[in-house]
Amino acid sequence: MKILIPLADGFQEIEAITIIDVLRSAGIEVDTVSLMGSVVTGGHGVKIMADKKISDIEIEKYDGIVLPGGSQGVANLAKSSQLKEFLGKMNEKEKLIAAICAAPMLLSRYHLLDKRRATIYPGMERELPYPRDEKVVVDGNIITSQAPGTSMEFALAIVEKLLGEEKVLELKEQLVV
């Protein structure tokens, strides 16, 4: 299993780091990817050195893509035509697409949620065609979640989708969830 996590300046740190850590703890290979330089700065000033640049990515080698939120981070992700292309290719092959906080808005803008239930940061529901007031929503190959406080539940839902319930139970014990 190999997952791509694009990071743009302004990303929400709790979301990104929780997702990266939980997925790697589950044995899933994760590549963090920068849209620009090697170092990406989160919305609260935390700097992360990305594993790769988006220009170096061959999307066919990935089993899924996960978008962290953060309003500025999502606005910066929206500027990437390559990311939009990657999301379209992932959806065509029904590979995992996951987005948290404000990031489900991108999925909606790219028409990936036209016939899907999804959730988003509270107050942004108008951005979705079929919003749900749930912490995490799984609809086919797409998983969405609400906010930093739902990051652990979101990351575990991704692990369950990719590796099954048994792996999630093992992780919950290990992480004391």
Residues known to be catalytic: 101
**Residue 136 phi/psi, 5° resolution?**
-140, 135
Cβ contact 33:54 at 8 Å: yes
The strand pair at 2-7 and 29-34 is best described as parallel
Alpha carbon distance 39, 17 (integer Å): 14
132 Cβ neighbours under 8 A, 6+ residues apart = 117, 118, 119
Angle, CA 88 vertex, CA 82 and CA 89 arms, to 5°: 90
Residue 104 CA to its chain's centroid (Å): 9
Please give the DSSP secondary-structure letter assigned to residue 156.
H
Read off φ and ψ for residue 144, nearest 5 degrees. -130, 155
Q: How is residue 19 written in tokens?
A: 């997702």
